[in-house]
Structure 1
Amino acid sequence: MKLISIKRRTRTERRYTQKMGVLYTDVTYIKKSLLGIPFKTMHKYRGTYYGKIKGCEDCVLAN
């Protein structure tokens, strides 16, 4: 059993951008976990309709 592992998880989220408005997209989180308990999000990104990969810093979470 590993002490530290890295897991990737994809979930659908509702985002908001200035140009497109409300956007439902798949967001992938890469998390570091210690003994199966996640403690740090290393990176999160989303894929666009055209296949490009973008970071989540350019879009704001919708409330």
Structure 2
Amino acid sequence: MKIVKIKRKTKIKNIHSKNMGRLSSHVTSIKKYLLGIPIATLHKYRETYYGEVKDCKDCILQA
């Protein structure tokens, strides 16, 4: 059994940007787990409308 794991999970979230307006996008987050409990989010990125991969700091996420 591993004590520390790193998992990647993809969700569909609504994103609002100034240029495109509101759109649904796949947001992938990479998290670090200790004994099955999430400790920290290492990285978050999303796939754009055109298929590019960008960091989530470039957009405003709406829940």
TM-score by length of 1: 0.92
Output one character per residue of 1:3-59: Cα deviation in whole Å (capped at 9) or x when no partner. 000000000001100001101000000000000111100000011233221000011
Root-mean-square deviation (CA, aligned residues, Å) is 1.1
Q: How far apart in 2 are the matches of 1:61 and 1:49?
A: 15
Count of residues in correspondence between the two structures: 63
Percent identity of equivalent pairs: 52
Counterpart for residue 42 of structure 1: 42
TM-score by length of 2: 0.92
Give 5+ residue unaligned stretches, structure 2: none
